[in-house]
Amino acid sequence: MQLVSTIVLDGLIDASWIFIVAVGLTLIFGVLNVLNIAHGNFYAIGAYVAASAAGWYYAGGDSFPALGLIIMLGSTLVVAVVLGPLLERGLLRFFYERDEVVLVLVTYALFLVLEDATKLIWGVNPYYAYEPYVLFGNVSFFGLSYVGYDLMLIVVAVLVGVLLWLALNRTTSGKLVLAVIHDRDMSSALGINVTRIFVVAFTIGVFLAAAGGAVTAPKISVQPGLAVTVVLLSFAVVVIGGLGSIGGAAVASLIVGIARSLAIHTAPWAELFIVYMVMALMLAIRPQGLFGTEGLRKI
Amino acid sequence: MLDWRSTAHLCMALVALLAAGLVLPGWANFLLVIALSKGLAALGLVVLLRSGLLSFGQGLFYCAGGYGAGLLMLWGGISDAALLVGGGGLFALLIGVATGPLVAGYRKIFFATLTLALSMLVHGALTKADFLGGTDGLNLRAPTFFGWRAGSAGENVYALYAFASILAVALAGLCRAHFGSVRGLLSLGVRDNEIRIEYLGTSVRRVVFENFVIAAFLAGIGGAINALALSHIDPELAFWTTSGEFVFVAILAGQASVVAVFAASVLLEVVRSWSSQYFPNAWQLTLGVFMLAVILFLPNGVGALLRRRSRPSVEADAK
Amino acid sequence: MPEARMLLKSAFAALSLFTFASPVLAENQSFKLGIVTFMSGPGAESFGVPAWEAAQMLSAALNEGGQLPAPYDKAGFGGMTIELSVIDENGGTTKQVQELRNGYERDGLDAVIGYISSSNCLAAAPVAEELKKLLILYDCGTPRIFEDGSYRYVFRTTAHATMDNVALARYLAKRKIKFDDIASINPDYAYGRDNWKDFQQSAAALNPNAKSKLELWPKLGAGQYGTEISALLQANPQVIHTSLWGGDLQAFVLQAAPRNLFKNRHVVITAADHVFQPLGNRMPNNVIFGARGSNGLFAETSPTNDWLVAAYEKKHPGGFPAQSYYRMTQSILGLKLAVEKAMALNGGKKPTAEQIADALTGLEWDAPSGRIKMALGNGHQAIQSNAIGVTKWDPASKRMQVVDVERFDAECVNPPANIKAEEWIAQGFPGAKCN
């Protein structure tokens, strides 16, 4: 019983940050049909900006430490609002007429550019934002000590999921986004401003990646090389959940988180491979992913 | 099939390549060997691209070819380059036959994503495989060429280069012939309208499958040459960045000409080497900007540039 | 068919492209030294960039002449100016091999010092051998290079990773720390697996009761260790072994410390000194660690070490150099002595690669990290002394200190020649000379 609850709790903590990042990737894919390889770079930039903001805030004394966390998240919003429209309008839109795979290549080139650009801006020395990590103290579960911040992440992830669901299903603009995901050409024909939806969806996707970086920043060392691991993991999640499916990303994050936790607690030699194994299993049984749509053939 | 004139042209091209290698310094020969082997993998992508599909997992077959050739050398005790490369290509082809049915039903970005996922799986498995050297990979020995062993570094590189040139020219010729054949032309039909092709009585799935297997074979040959040139194999060959490069070369080349594929591959290697030499701190940025510029300003690839100056090629011939 | 004609054309275009860069003839007055190290990616922060910085600092001082203590006081390499260039080690083995060939043949490099990643080391060594050019591996850990192959032109001027774990196990035994129950968390790639295997077997050789309770294998670059920390807490071992490094190690410490993983048990880290400066007081006390040699905090006072520390402090006030700085420094110093020795034998003229290789084979020299002896692999693989200690934060100077240091002679923690490291450990360290 103790082992089971530990596995579930560890899995949930893991799933929470994976979800925040992966749901951004799947949203961008769903709306723009772009498999964004540079997604991990937005995560890294988010982490860098948040850590820089935290460094600036806490250097002036930490009379009100929780404010630092809010400043960190706020700074990533700025990043998204600047980078999102800039990259979507300034770069991606020139390639919408081209093959979708060309767009993957464009984001690959973007990955290369941003990889060096972040290094040129922030250098190679690590940045930290550890102060918020102790904000919520420690909690004990079955004799194991957990950091309260990690448990808060679960709440944040659920909040992100619920907000996204509400925004998409309960607001007019959200429904327009769903319409575009469902059929871009038809939506355009019906007079939906697809361009605007592209910009907004891409910006939200960038924000989610950057926010994922920001909430992770307090527990890691922010330095070069963050992007690759993250983009591969969220890619696996999106494939398992079904490309472009937001519910799929949520379920797949849970599956990946729990599977990883299960592997670490019961068969640690398989940790590296477990995500790939889940993905392989999914590809063998249901190549379009859990919530992916069929009918992929072109007419 | 190829007429005598095309054959003569191919032979002339080969002679020119072989002669050029004699004049060039060793490092340039080596760069060309790598460019030719990557070019072969990209040529495979062009074959697929003609049916409207682009794989983002071509590295899987490049890797299969490399490991196939490498293990044939280390475990099978074979050192003849022709056997090794043939074996590598065959191994990749078999993997292509095994995975082809899985992906043949998918199109567009889904096809790219699935192939990418497959190559990631193989990459993950290889890093875990201790008996294959894990992430460190394995070192190979110098190959022999039909019983002849190179005496010096320069000889070895030139022999590899000559060997790669012969293969590249031969396979390029075969591809060219295939593009003009009935089955090759069907691919263009698949790209334009699958339903029409189905009504004409051909299985679209089969056409896609065939192209996928051809692409796998070409990548396997390329990967095997790469392995021999490097004398080293490691899981990096199946990493998504490797596949990304092939896609870039295929896009950079365009579908207009087979020659352009190799020209594009050489260009990428030169630009990478050049940026690495002059901007060791920002070579990825330089490469990325180069890629973006090419995709933006050369939408039809280098091939289109070549074509503008000479007679229309592949597609025009096909129509 | 126009394509074949085009092939001709492009062949000639390629030809004209390359002719402008014909191989450079090495000048007599300079020595071209290429450095290959991670300038980007996860290896950059901890190892790559510090090593490049060390190379720049040292070559500037050497070129000026008279800056370093004897026998390193001659200008440059025997009067020849050192011309440095750098290649980013990121980008995969194919790129590395290509750039190494370009470096030797196109840019006319006289020698290359480089490679942190073991796969790059394995791939690069045969290239140098084939081209008959000097290659010095300065960082990668695998013992496979000179155990599985033999080279004339390839050297490693730093000890391989075996001694890091032998020393850790010896430390535990010597300090009578209980290590019956061991858990481990190592990155799941060749380096991490080698480290764990060496430590596990060394521990077993020194303590028959030692058994492995839990082996965790996070992915290299994972950055998130919450679940692993839970599993470690649950296993509650006496000793936790890890060879995580760089950003991974920093993240692990940041996440494990608040959960009290470092309390009530011993965490032993094969190489930790490079994270002290960035982590500051967030690095817990009482952690047993090494620095892959008598590097950094473990370096004993000597003319060369005093010079290095002073020069580093001038560049980074309040800082201290970590292991990567030491490895690059000892490599360049060894090369300098070999070049000068070969030069003397060559009548004062610039020596060939063969002559330098012969001079470097079996050479011994004093580096900031102590005496370096090219004792293994027929004189191509260095051994050096090692030291293990315990962390202790000093709030007054705001610096990490090391206490309870045990020093191990090179012959105590490195295998003798002609036996593979793995077998040496398995057989219980035959021929080890410990003081």
Please give the residue of chain A at the shortest CA–CA distance from C276: A126
Q: Give yes or no: residues C150 and C167 share one domain.
A: no
Distances in whole angstroms, Cα of residue A252 to Cα of each of A15, A40, A177, A192, C220 = 9, 18, 22, 31, 22
Chain B residues inside the 8 Å CB shell of C95: 272, 276
Report how far residue B119's alpha carbon sits from residue A76's, in angstroms, rounded to the nearest whole number: 33
DSSP bridge partners of C181: C211
* A286 lies in some domain: no
User: What's the pLDDT score for residue B316?
Assistant: 40
Distances in whole angstroms, Cα of residue C195 to Cα of each of C144, C166, C201, C388, C394 = 13, 10, 10, 16, 30
Task: With a cut of 50, list the residues of chain A below it in pLDDT.
Answer: 295-299
- Overall domain count for chain A: 1
User: What's the pLDDT score for residue C11?
Assistant: 52
Q: How far is CA A46 from its chain centroid?
A: 11
CATH code of the domain covering residue C421: 3.40.50.2300
User: What's the pLDDT score for residue C21?
Assistant: 44
Across the interface, of C42, C231, C258, the residue whose CB is closest to A224 is: C42
pLDDT tier, B97 (very low <50, low <70, confident <90, very high otherwise): very high
Within A91-136, where are the H helices? Answer: 100-122
Q: Choose the most confident range, by mean pLDDT, from B24-33, B280-289, C179-188.
A: C179-188
Six-digit token string for B190: 């698949």
Tell me the three state secondary structure of residue C111.
strand
CB pair distance less than 8 Å for B139 and C18: no
What is residue C47's DSSP assignment? Answer: I
pLDDT tier, C25 (very low <50, low <70, confident <90, very high otherwise): very low
* C183 lies in some domain: yes
| Position C20 pLDDT exceeds 80 | no
**Which residue is associated with the tokens 């050029």?**
B20
Chain B residues inside the 8 Å CB shell of A225: none
A→C contacts (Cβ < 8 Å), by residue, are 3, 6, 9-11, 13-14, 17, 115-116, 119, 124-126, 128, 130, 133-134, 138, 144-147, 150, 216, 219-221, 223-226, 228-229, 260-261, 264-265, 268-269, 271-272
Q: Give yes or no: residues C121 and C201 share one domain.
A: no
Residues 6+ away with beta carbon under 8 Å from C22: B25
Contact status, residue B264 vs residue B252, Cβ threshold 8 Å: yes
Residues of B (78-97) whose Cβ lies below 8 Å from A: none
Q: How far is CA A217 from its chain centroid?
A: 14
Please give the residue of chain B at the shortest CA–CA distance from A243: B110
CB pair distance less than 8 Å for C278 and A134: no
Residues of C (237-256) whose Cβ lies below 8 Å from A: 246-247, 250-251, 254-255
C360: closest CA among C381, C335, C383? C335
Across the interface, of A14, A219, A272, the residue whose CB is closest to C254 is: A219
Across the interface, of A104, A117, A287, the residue whose CB is closest to B112 is: A104
Q: Give yes or no: residues C60 and C84 share one domain.
A: yes
What is the domain extent for residue C245?
Answer: 162-294+385-426
Chain B residues inside the 8 Å CB shell of A235: 116-117, 120
| Position C183 pLDDT exceeds 80 | yes
Determine the distance in angstroms separating the CA of B114 from the nearest CA of chain A, rounded to an integer.
8
* C20 lies in some domain: no
User: What's the pLDDT score for residue A206?
Assistant: 96
Report how far residue C240's alpha carbon sits from residue C186's, in angstroms, rounded to the nearest whole number: 10
Determine the distance in angstroms separating the CA of B105 from the nearest CA of chain A, rounded to an integer.
7
CB pair distance less than 8 Å for B292 and A98: no
Report how far residue C131's alpha carbon sits from residue C103's, in angstroms, rounded to the nearest whole number: 11
Across the interface, of B16, B237, B239, the residue whose CB is closest to C8 is: B16
Report how far residue C196's alpha carbon sits from residue C198's, in angstroms, rounded to the nearest whole number: 5
C303: closest CA among C364, C370, C363, C386? C370
* C363 lies in some domain: yes
CB pair distance less than 8 Å for A146 and C222: no
Q: Give yes or no: residues C73 and C171 share one domain.
A: no
User: What's the pLDDT score for residue A299?
Assistant: 36
* A52 lies in some domain: yes
Q: Give yes or no: residues C267 and C346 share one domain.
A: no
* A62 lies in some domain: yes
Determine the distance in angstroms separating the CA of C358 from the nearest CA of chain A, rounded to an integer.
38
pLDDT tier, C27 (very low <50, low <70, confident <90, very high otherwise): very low
pLDDT tier, B54 (very low <50, low <70, confident <90, very high otherwise): confident
Q: Choose the most confident range, by mean pLDDT, from A190-199, B73-82, B122-131, C226-235.
A: C226-235
Q: Of A6, A120, A147, A221, which to mutate for an interface test with C (greatest number of C Cβ within 10 Å)?
A: A221
Q: Give yes or no: residues C33 and C137 share one domain.
A: yes
Quick check: B109 contacting A, CB < 8 Å? yes
Quick check: C41 contacting A, CB < 8 Å? yes
User: What's the pLDDT score for residue C10?
Assistant: 54
Chains in contact with C via at least 3 Cβ–Cβ pairs below 8 Å: A, B
* A94 lies in some domain: yes
Report how far residue A290's alpha carbon sits from residue A279's, in angstroms, rounded to the nearest whole number: 11
Q: Of A34, A112, A118, which to mutate for an interface test with B (greatest number of B Cβ within 10 Å)?
A: A112
CB pair distance less than 8 Å for A226 and C251: no
Average pLDDT over residues B202-215: 88
Contact status, residue A226 vs residue A38, Cβ threshold 8 Å: no
* A283 lies in some domain: no
| Position B281 pLDDT exceeds 90 | no
Give the Cβ contact number of residue C229 at 10 Å: 26
pLDDT tier, B307 (very low <50, low <70, confident <90, very high otherwise): low
Give the Cβ contact number of residue C393 at 10 Å: 16
Helical (H) or strand (E) element with B6: helix B4-23
Determine the distance in angstroms separating the CA of C55 from the nearest CA of chain A, rounded to an integer.
17
CB pair distance less than 8 Å for C224 and A219: yes
Across the interface, of B56, B113, B287, the residue whose CB is closest to A112 is: B287
Residues of B (1-40) whose Cβ lies below 8 Å from A: none
Average pLDDT over residues C245-256: 94
Average pLDDT over residues C406-425: 91
Determine the distance in angstroms separating the CA of C259 from the nearest CA of chain B, rounded to an integer.
30
Q: Of A141, A147, A220, which to mutate for an interface test with C (greatest number of C Cβ within 10 Å)?
A: A220
User: What's the pLDDT score for residue C1?
Assistant: 43
Chains in contact with A via at least 3 Cβ–Cβ pairs below 8 Å: B, C
Domain ranges of chain B: 4-240
The one-letter code for the residue type at C125 is A
A-C interface: how many C-beta pairs under 8 angstroms?
121
CB pair distance less than 8 Å for C97 and B230: yes
Please give the residue of chain C at the shortest CA–CA distance from B226: C94
Q: C218: cis peptide before it, omega within 30°?
A: no
Residues 6+ away with beta carbon under 8 Å from A95: A102, A103, A106, B295, B296
Q: Which of A236-240, B198-202, C135-139, C141-145 has the lowest mean pLDDT?
A: B198-202
For the segment A22-67, what is each residue's pLDDT rounded down to a tens digit? 999 999 988 888 889 999 999 999 999 999 998 888 887 767 778 8
Average pLDDT over residues C78-86: 92
CA torsion angle for A159, A161, A163, A166 (degrees, to 10)?
Answer: -140
Q: B235: cis peptide before it, omega within 30°?
A: no
Quick check: B166 contacting A, CB < 8 Å? no
CB pair distance less than 8 Å for A296 and B107: yes
The residue count of chain A comes to 299
Chains in contact with B via at least 3 Cβ–Cβ pairs below 8 Å: A, C
Chain C residues inside the 8 Å CB shell of B257: 3, 6
Q: Of A18, A118, A219, which to mutate for an interface test with C (greatest number of C Cβ within 10 Å)?
A: A219
* A75 lies in some domain: yes
B226: closest CA among B80, B85, B76? B85
Chain C residues inside the 8 Å CB shell of B269: 98
User: What's the pLDDT score for residue C348?
Assistant: 86
- Residue C306, CB-side half-sphere exposure with 13 Å CA sphere: 7
Determine the distance in angstroms separating the CA of A110 from the nearest CA of chain B, rounded to an integer.
6
Report how far residue B179's alpha carbon sits from residue B186's, in angstroms, rounded to the nearest whole number: 9
Six-digit token string for C154: 């390839």
Cα C246-C247-C249 angle, rounded to 5 deg: 70
Distances in whole angstroms, Cα of residue A39 to Cα of each of A119, B219, B294, C229 = 16, 28, 22, 28
- Overall domain count for chain C: 2
Report how far residue B280's alpha carbon sits from residue B294's, in angstroms, rounded to the nearest whole number: 22
Please give the residue of chain B at the shortest CA–CA distance from A106: B292
Cα C6-B167-B27 angle, rounded to 5 deg: 80
| Position C240 pLDDT exceeds 90 | yes
Q: Give yes or no: residues C205 and C288 share one domain.
A: yes
Determine the distance in angstroms separating the CA of C253 from the nearest CA of chain A, rounded to an integer.
9
CB pair distance less than 8 Å for B292 and A113: yes
Report how far residue B24's alpha carbon sits from residue C109's, in angstroms, rounded to the nearest whole number: 19
pLDDT tier, B306 (very low <50, low <70, confident <90, very high otherwise): low
Average pLDDT over residues B155-159: 86
Quick check: A124 contacting B, CB < 8 Å? no
Distances in whole angstroms, Cα of residue B45 to Cα of each of A162, B269, B291, B304 = 42, 18, 17, 17
* A241 lies in some domain: no
Chain A residues inside the 8 Å CB shell of C315: none
What is the domain extent for residue A125?
Answer: 20-223
* A184 lies in some domain: yes
Q: What percent of chain C has pLDDT over 70?
A: 94
